[in-house]
Amino acid sequence: MPASLTRPTRWIGAGLTVVCLGFVLWRFVQLAPRVAALAPWPSLISGMGLATLVYSAGGVLLAIAWWLLLRALASPSITATSAVRGHMRAQLAKYAPGNVFHLAARHVHARQQGLDHVPVATAAVAESILLVAVAVSLSFAMPATGLPGALQWLAPWRWIILVGFFGLIAIFYWLRLRDRMSALDGTWHAGIGGVLGATACYCSFFALAAIAFRFLFEAPALDALELLPTIAVCWLGGFLVIGSPGGLGVREALLVGLLGPVCGEAEALYAALAFRGVTILSDLLLFLVGILVPDHSR
């Protein structure tokens, strides 16, 4: 992104984050008695515990996808242990202001493993494109009427957005590998396999996130499959608001806005806040695993 646009974009993202946090806080103050009465502490703790384990499994899949992309676009010699540990150890950094420090930490770790700067940056861009493409694809299951009023104008354009993202993936991937046919062994086969494997990991991550959220959501009428497009839309919103630390505030506001009309605003707010706790606990757990598990590849 040009430097002239970086600062305004971050300011806009920070402003949206503050607005979303303010909305969530305002609704919590208004609905606190109802939210507190929704579930007893034992039920909340057990639900969050199960959700944390499931969401952590999704986090492991994200780390595996990062390894697959590094192998496909940077170096086939990078080991799974090294790449996965680097990804896990960087996760907590996304909660720092700016929402970029986890990317920087992963980049530094990959450079320490001997990978070149440009291929690692290429893998990071590919990761973002694939994640957004998968999230947009999954959001298609949500009818236009299920979107907030401010977002319904996007519904007719979803197919165009999806085709555009996959077109970017194809162009990006072709340009990346065109000049590296001789640099990587089995470039096309390994590269395509890596991208497809990463895409499968991202699809599975969103599915596990929906299952984890279901452990917290007191709405028998909705199962994990029905929650999947909502989770994808909320993740996408948090990802696209540049500068929002881990999507903080943005995803909670979207969850309340999307699920409130379906199950009640207090129930949606309760689940959104509990889910934020789950994601933080999961990132902390993965960070500890990344720190404690030795890297035998060295």
| pLDDT tens-digit map of 7-58 | 667 777 778 888 899 999 999 999 888 888 887 778 889 999 999 999 999 9
Distance of CA 256 to the CA centre of its chain: 18
- The pair of structure tokens assigned to 118 is 């440009």
The position carrying tokens 């790449």 is 83
Higher pLDDT, 214 or 243: 214
Find the Cα–Cα–Cα–Cα dihedral 242, 201, 142, 219, rounded to 10°.
-100
- What is the overall mean pLDDT for the chain? 82
Q: What is the pLDDT of residue 286?
A: 95
Mean pLDDT of 257-279: 91
Per-residue pLDDT tens digits for 114-139:
888 888 888 898 898 889 889 988 88
Least confident of 19-33, 56-70, 89-103: 89-103
Task: Give the length of the chain.
Answer: 298
Task: Kindly give, in sequence order, each residue whose CB lies less than 8 Å from that of residue 9, ignoring residues fewer than 6 positions away.
Answer: 1, 242, 243
Closest CA to 242 of 4, 23, 90, 14: 14
Mean pLDDT of 275-294: 92
The position carrying tokens 């929402």 is 99
Closest CA to 242 of 162, 147, 132: 132
Query: DSSP class of residue 297?
Result: T
**What predicted TM-score, i.e. pTM, was given to this entire model?**
0.85
